Chains A and B, each alone.
Chain A
Amino acid sequence: MSKYIIKMENIIREYPFKGGVVKALRGANFKIKRGECISIMGPSGSGKSTLMNVIGCLDRQTSGTYILDNIDVNTLNTDERADIRKKIIGFVFQSYNLLPKTSALRNVEMPMIYAKMKRKTRLERSEELLGLVGLSHRIHHLPSEMSGGERQRVSIARSLANDPDFILADEPTGNLDSVMSAEIMKILKNLNDQGKTIIIVTHEAEIANQTQRVLHLRDGIITD
């Protein structure tokens, strides 16, 4: 097992746009160690979400090498990338991205359905994870029946469902007030204490300062 879970070399991501191109990432060069809690910080439009999509294997870079856990992600096909998202990465989004009209319990259960876990195990684990984020009393609630902070905690529980190697959080506190933000950061730091690698994308210095290391992204360029 490599010491580095993520290695980025000269990652460039261009979007075709009105005949020309938009360079959202002009060169990302950094490494992230296993067990780190780091933040990627940058102003709006600097390419944070773009970088996060590449790290999360949701998007492909235009050029450059992305080594995730000793695998060159660019060589993987669509199904293999889906499997990486399922097993190695846990996503936490700014807008929660929970399935609507679906209970907290089923939302947390969903990644385990795709991982083909047994129903009994799934239900036990979902309850356990919701307990971990302090939502034992809300397991049958729908997202629409929960506060923003509660929804974000459900999404953290969901990100943990298949015991991923790292959690990728894009502005996890972006829609929350300071009390709720502190709550979410506490949970993420706890997870880091238990050995999970945490990557937080944010434009807020207050949030970035709570992590062990801050990477600055400016105009699509980032180095460590």
Chain B
Amino acid sequence: MIELLIESLRVSLDSVKANKLRSFLTTLGIIIGVMTIIIVVSIIDGLESQVMSTFSSLGTNVIYVQRRGWIMRGGSDWRKTRTNYVDMNDYYKMQDLSTTAEEIGISISNYKNIKYINEKLEMINIDGISASCMSIQNFEVDVGLTLSENDIKMKKNVCLIGKDISDNLFFGANPIGKWLTIDGNKFLIKGILTEKGSFFGQSQDEIVLIPYTVMLKYYPTEKRHITILLSSNDPEETIEEARWVMRISHSLKQGDDDDFSINTQDALMEQWKSLTTSIFLVMIAIGSLSLMVGGIGIMNIMLVSVSERTREIGIRKSIGARNKEILLQFLFEAMTVSLVGGVVGIIVGISVAFTISKVAHLPFAIQIWSVLTGFLFSLGVGLFFGIFPARKAAKLDPVECLRYE
């Protein structure tokens, strides 16, 4: 049995070597199939760990009350859903009525050009925030002072800058105590924020924080575009409560749809997961399809091989090979071809996944199970699609075979 396996392996490797191009074309489907599986699993894995770590850097268990939702609810077009502004009144109402929120904050986002002396940066994210946002959103001051309640109340022109702003405007000089010009208005730099890294390829350190009161002073219309932030130990409770408060504040009647959105990272995370799951499934389907095609290719080439080697089959039978031994020989051959394709697919897949992860700055990881799956799948395909030609070979009549020219 072992001898026969070795013998079959030799015969099949010989025929693979003798028909290099043919074997390559035959195994292309297997190569692509296995490659796809390896790449997809690796990339999604890398994204997953990246996303998980950035999600937690945003501050966990934060509830965002906004006009628009982050995710589309199944079926309903957000353009058709009636929405209304979330404004300062809603914020005050929330402060009055909420009992379950740990902290309540307000954040008003804007994009403006900034400059220091002659250095300029365009369209920088300026967030007008309440002091509570510092802890809700996990902002930490690396050097200098934070925004105080007093800064907010007194509408002081002060700001905190992110690491990227500090690097790109001051080039290593100390920015603290300098005056930053935001859209023509001067702000005193009080502190530099601790680095947060990037989120979906977008740097979170290209940011300037100012008191929300100052934001409203210069851009009064922004009072209709605020985000109310709530932190809570019992998010579900707080979400329900926030909804109740917002419905009161917007004077919605029973039966009216919500005209605001309550966003959480959990929901976003779920959306992300279902997205990756569907990408995953699509790619697995593509992978399986190419494996199928590869398998049919192998079956085809094995049928050709059987008819090319009819005489050889007759010779082997005449010297005493049993039908089962002929069957195994051709089966092993199909599996060898398929496995060679699988191994090439694994190697190419790992290299491509590695390259992509380097280019996209993702953590690189190869799951053992995905390699194993590729391995087993290619073996299985060889077995499944090799069995028919192998049985055909085994059943051939020795006399016919020996007469075959």
- Closest beta carbon of chain A to B319's beta carbon, Å: 4
Given contacts A97-B315, A99-B315, A101-B18, contact A58 B320 (CB under 8 A): no
Considering only residues 232-263 of chain B, those with a C-beta below 8 Å from chain A are none
Q: Closest B residue to A79 by CB, please name it.
A: B322
Q: Which of B3, B399, B402 contacts A113 (CB 8 A)?
A: B3
Does A204 belong to the interface (CB within 8 Å)? Answer: no
Q: How far does the alpha carbon of A157 sit from the alpha carbon of B320 in the complex, in Å?
A: 15
Given contacts A58-B402, A114-B325, contact A82 B3 (CB under 8 A): no
Q: Which of A58, A79, A101 contacts B323 (CB 8 A)?
A: A79
B-side interface size class: 20 to 34
Q: Closest B residue to A85 by CB, please name it.
A: B320
- Closest beta carbon of chain A to B256's beta carbon, Å: 82
Q: Mark A72-95, 1 if CB is under 8 A from B, else 0.
A: 000000110011011100010100
Are B320 and A86 closer than 8 Å at their CB atoms?
Answer: yes
Point out the residues of chain B lying under 8 angstroms from A79, CB to CB.
322-324
Report whether over half of chain B's contact residues are helix, strand or loop; otherwise say mixed.
helix
Considering only residues 104-141 of chain B, those with a C-beta below 8 Å from chain A are none
Point out the residues of chain A lying under 8 angstroms from B402, CB to CB.
58, 93, 97
Does A39 belong to the interface (CB within 8 Å)? Answer: no
Point out the residues of chain B lying under 8 angstroms from A111, CB to CB.
319-320
Q: How far does the alpha carbon of A213 sit from the alpha carbon of B397 in the complex, in Å?
A: 32
Q: Mark B183-195, 1 if CB is under 8 A from A, else 0.
A: 0000000000000
Point out the residues of chain A lying under 8 angstroms from B225, CB to CB.
none
Does A18 belong to the interface (CB within 8 Å)? Answer: no
Does A110 belong to the interface (CB within 8 Å)? Answer: yes
Q: How far does the alpha carbon of A187 sit from the alpha carbon of B325 in the complex, in Å?
A: 32
Q: How far does the alpha carbon of A154 sit from the alpha carbon of B256 in the complex, in Å?
A: 95
Does B317 belong to the interface (CB within 8 Å)? Answer: yes
Are B3 and A119 closer than 8 Å at their CB atoms?
Answer: yes
- Closest beta carbon of chain A to B22's beta carbon, Å: 16
Name 16 interchain pairs, CB-CB below 8 A, sorted by A. Answer: A58-B317, A58-B318, A58-B399, A82-B320, A83-B320, A85-B318, A85-B319, A91-B319, A110-B316, A110-B319, A111-B319, A113-B3, A114-B316, A114-B320, A114-B325, A119-B3
